[in-house]
Structure 1
């Protein structure tokens, strides 16, 4: 089955739920690209009229973004809005899930009671699966539609657009919330005795003590390797925080770099404080506390965690 059909079935199943979530309008964007083929055909016709010869082994004229008015207005602008809405929706849904997971016992009990006494952990894992599938399907849809754009126009504008999304933090695969979700899954797996459930049969997450790399593997060869080495102390991040740009640091290291005391917290940093890695301004205000990752390290590497805790 082609991805377009798979994505359509997924969208139809999502529409049956009671919560709306933005998605990549894959089918509509494919229609835009189909219309854009006329742009390419016109360019070929114009070249032929000027006496230029084209054959099967010769590269077709490139239709650049600046000269493709249809794509400029209807493709990239729409795709950027969709990417922004998807990233915002994903982070807010993960945030709510993690808040529920770390909520006081009585609050979680009341939520569980409202769910008609469903297994609390099972319900959490099912929500994790839904969010992972949401991220996975939209990431693949985004990659495929951009690849198709470049194929239709014989350009690299789709690839450049993807790089621009990463620079503007609209790429879900670079989101610290995905790492938090992966750590939450591993913590659930630890509590189940280390046996993966069928719910996560399509999602593999592995944290290694060698190289401090967390690997998230999705279907269709989508893979993310997240380096958990603090760029300042060059050790595995401890009490980790990810700045708004996505770079992870130990809390103490990030506070030192921003010239604030640890008890004040990372978000007490000045608005002009820069990320020590990418030098982007204002990333401390949107820092994310990676509590699930810290808990995972405490479970998996107890001795290392105790030593770091003592030194801190």
Structure 2
């Protein structure tokens, strides 16, 4: 089955009720834009006769310009907006789903009462599968339509556009919420989700040379997420994902941003940079990876307990140093008076 047919079938499938009001990549419409460009009907002004003769060996019927004003105006602007809408919708829906699973306080009590009358775990799993399929098939649609753009125009603008998407944190399959969703599945259903129609398989390998989470997605695609903190070079503990996508332990990220021990990451200076990519302003929208932390706690109990004791000792040490500094400052100030 061709991807366009599969994508159309997906849009009209059973998951439609779960994805009400969610945006999708307009794959068919964008493909029509490129078909118009194939005959150069709308790009005659930009494709001079010199370019046509110079590229005479190109496949017949393809646009001979590397940058097509007609395509670029309608194509890249719309695709960027659609990718942004898809990423935003996915983030909101996953956050809501995980909020129900990781409820605390009164919400946890209400969840317990609801569970007495209705078991909605299967419903959550189904919604999780739908969301993973949603983000995956839209990511594949973006990749395929950009390849088609480069093929039609004989350029690398499509690949360059993917770099721009990464810079704007719109690389859909690198979203920290996808990692959280995978951890959510493993927390509920064990180390490997049972493979059924429309489901995906997840695995978590802590004993390897480096800890990784692996996801098998559509078209036999397999994604690996490295769970090593780039600062302490150990498996992340109480992990946070910065808006650039890099994972760190909370204590390590706070140290890198030169923050006080009692401050949250969102209070970091706008000039604070990611220790890996050196991008500034990535702390404000950081994501606390609660599901991933729960997965590590359940699967790596000895390691998690060891790290918890070490982190508490470090926090006590830093807090003592902070109190000593404040005391000396206050005493010195009084002596000056």
Judge same fold: TM > 0.5, yes or no: yes
Are 2:18 and 1:21 aligned? Answer: no
The alpha-carbon distance between structure 1 residues 29 and 18, as it changes in their structure 2 partners (threshold 3 A), is closer
1:220 Cα shift?
A: 1.3
Instruction: Determine if contact 2:150/2:157 at 8 Å carries over to the other structure.
Output: yes
Aligned to 1:54: 56
| SS of aligned partner of 1:285 | coil
* CA deviation vs aligned residue, 1:253-297 (integer Å, no higher than 9, x gap): 011111113332211211221111111111111110011111111
What does 1:98-109 align with in structure 2 at a 5 Å threshold?
A: 98-103=98-103, 104-109=107-112
The alpha-carbon distance between structure 1 residues 57 and 153, as it changes in their structure 2 partners (threshold 3 A), is closer
Aligned to 1:96: 96
* Rounded Cα–Cα distance in structure 2 between residues aligned with 1:157 and 1:18: 31
Aligned to 1:205: 202
What does 1:261-280 align with in structure 2 at a 5 Å threshold?
A: 261-280=260-279
List 4+ stretches of structure 1 deviating above 6 A. Answer: none
| SS of aligned partner of 1:274 | coil
The alpha-carbon distance between structure 1 residues 82 and 46, as it changes in their structure 2 partners (threshold 3 A), is same
Are 2:185 and 1:185 aligned? Answer: yes
Are 2:240 and 1:241 aligned? Answer: yes
* Rounded Cα–Cα distance in structure 2 between residues aligned with 1:18 and 1:49: 45
| SS of aligned partner of 2:169 | coil
Instruction: Determine if contact 1:39/1:63 at 8 Å carries over to the other structure.
Output: no
What does 1:78-93 align with in structure 2 at a 5 Å threshold?
A: 78-93=78-93
Aligned to 2:39: 38
Aligned to 2:128: 128
1:127 Cα shift?
A: 1.1
| SS of aligned partner of 2:203 | strand
1:198 Cα shift?
A: 4.2
- What are structure 2's unaligned runs of at least 5 residues? 312-337
The alpha-carbon distance between structure 1 residues 241 and 61, as it changes in their structure 2 partners (threshold 3 A), is same
1:208 Cα shift?
A: 1.1
Instruction: Determine if contact 2:212/2:226 at 8 Å carries over to the other structure.
Output: yes
The alpha-carbon distance between structure 1 residues 96 and 57, as it changes in their structure 2 partners (threshold 3 A), is closer
Instruction: Determine if contact 2:205/2:211 at 8 Å carries over to the other structure.
Output: yes
Are 2:144 and 1:144 aligned? Answer: yes
The alpha-carbon distance between structure 1 residues 304 and 76, as it changes in their structure 2 partners (threshold 3 A), is same
Are 2:298 and 1:299 aligned? Answer: yes
* Rounded Cα–Cα distance in structure 2 between residues aligned with 1:17 and 1:269: 36
- What are structure 1's unaligned runs of at least 5 residues? none
* Rounded Cα–Cα distance in structure 2 between residues aligned with 1:62 and 1:305: 58
1:47 Cα shift?
A: 4.3
The alpha-carbon distance between structure 1 residues 289 and 130, as it changes in their structure 2 partners (threshold 3 A), is same
The alpha-carbon distance between structure 1 residues 226 and 53, as it changes in their structure 2 partners (threshold 3 A), is closer
Q: Which moved more, 1:196-205 or 1:32-41?
A: 196-205
Aligned to 2:253: 254
1:225 Cα shift?
A: 1.7
Instruction: Determine if contact 1:244/1:287 at 8 Å carries over to the other structure.
Output: yes
| SS of aligned partner of 1:220 | helix
* CA deviation vs aligned residue, 1:212-256 (integer Å, no higher than 9, x gap): 111222121433221111111111111100111111000000111
What TM-score comes out, normalization by structure 1 length? 0.88
* Rounded Cα–Cα distance in structure 2 between residues aligned with 1:309 and 1:100: 25
The alpha-carbon distance between structure 1 residues 173 and 308, as it changes in their structure 2 partners (threshold 3 A), is same
Instruction: Determine if contact 2:55/2:64 at 8 Å carries over to the other structure.
Output: no
The alpha-carbon distance between structure 1 residues 137 and 70, as it changes in their structure 2 partners (threshold 3 A), is same
